Amino acid sequence: MTKILTSPDGTPASRLAFGAMQFGGAADAQASRAMFDACIAAGITHFDTAHVYTGGASETLLGGMLGDRRDGLPIATKVAYDGGGSKQNIHRSFEISRQRLNMDMVDILYLHRFDPDTDLHESMEALAELKQQGLIRYVGVSNFAAWQVVKAIGIAAKFDITVDILQPMYNLVKRQAEVEILPMCADQNVACAPYSPLGGGLLTGKYASGGAGRLIEDDRYTKRYGLEWMHQAARDLAEVAVDVGTDPATLAVAWAAAHPMGPTPIISARSTAQLAPSLAAMTYEMPPALYARLAALSPTPPPATDRIEEQA
């Protein structure tokens, strides 16, 4: 049974989450508000932001939209992408984030990435302090390898807390999480909210027809999705989408959500028009044969043991 986090009034986190990374950046205040409203209308309860997004505008805009819905929405932010995992950086960044969000308590706080230069005991102790003070309800980690999560779980126990949720990258052309991360989450009772279900936009198919977007505008994404087989998979996905009469973005998000571990992908966009096909995945039931057909569009990552002859 997949662990499901809840809001302060007990509302469960929705099947998909929405990420506010574009709020105050590619999406202005009006476009951001329209996407928030579309998410609420579609039944999304789980919203995600981070201390580093758009210089703080993402947190400020999201916090300003919650109003009297706040207690029914599990809200997540992340700290320590910059500045390392020291106690001082975690406490200082979180306090700024909490003020931007205008929240007494933030439901989920993630360490945004693993810091090899800081003892993980120090970072986990900082999160335990925030939890004991009632300032956060759930502890998360993002961009951690599976062994780093298990290490964090062991350390967390010393401080009487649990690691409740992991936020890895996962989509049809970034499938490393299948090898250790998703099985580890199932085994360790850690919820999983993977990001980039569309591969930053690649899996919409728009780049095959000369479209513009993040993969052209942002060097990190150009490089991350720069391999030809990934672009071929996106073209193939677009063909399958025509065949089954659905938008490729709907299929990509629904495929990530259909992993047997039960992850809750974080969708995002710069406008409600872009968001619509991802939101449609909220109600899209993925038939097993279609799930397998989509999985066959990209290489299955080899097993952790490298014994490929034993792979199902």
> Which of 248, 247, 198 shows the shortest CA–CA distance to 224?
198
In the bound state with ligand NAP, the residue whose beta carbon lies nearer, of 98 and 270, is: 270
In the bound state with ligand NAP, the residue whose beta carbon lies nearer, of 70 and 140, is: 140
Task: Report in angstroms how near the CB of residue 305 gets to ligand NAP at its nearest.
Answer: 28
Q: Which pair of structure tokens corresponds to residue 231?
A: 């672009």
d(CA 270, CA 229): 26
Task: Report in angstroms how near the CB of residue 198 gets to ligand NAP at its nearest.
Answer: 3
Burial (0-12, 13-18, 19+ Cβ within 10 Å), 3: middle
CA distances for 208 relative to 13, 58, 59, 127, 217, angstroms: 34, 30, 33, 44, 16
Task: Report in angstroms how near the CB of residue 309 gets to ligand NAP at its nearest.
Answer: 34
d(CA 20, CA 72): 18
Q: Which pair of structure tokens corresponds to residue 131?
A: 């939890």
In the bound state with ligand NAP, the residue whose beta carbon lies nearer, of 19 and 74, is: 19
Eight-class DSSP state of 300: P
The residue count of the chain comes to 312
Q: Residues in the site for ligand NAP, rule: CB under 6 A?
A: 19-22, 26, 48, 142-143, 167, 195-201, 204, 206, 213-214, 249, 266-270, 274, 277-278
**Which is catalytic among the residues 53, 138, 195, 284?**
53
Task: Report in angstroms how near the CB of residue 78 gets to ligand NAP at its nearest.
Answer: 6
Angle of helix 228-244 relative to helix 248-257, nearest 10 degrees? Answer: 100
Which residues in 133-161 are b (16+ Cβ under 10 Å) and which e? eebbbbbbbbbbebebbbbbbebbeebeb
Task: Report in angstroms how near the CB of residue 86 gets to ligand NAP at its nearest.
Answer: 19
Task: Report in angstroms how near the CB of residue 184 gets to ligand NAP at its nearest.
Answer: 17
53 is a catalytic site residue: yes
- Residue 285 Ramachandran class (φ > 0 left, ψ -120 to 50 alpha, else beta): beta
**Secondary element (H or E) of residue 38:** helix 29-42
Residue 141, beta-bridge partner list:
111, 166
CA distances for 245 relative to 39, 113, 209, 239, 265, angstroms: 23, 39, 19, 10, 22
**Secondary element (H or E) of residue 31:** helix 29-42
Residues marked as catalytic: 53
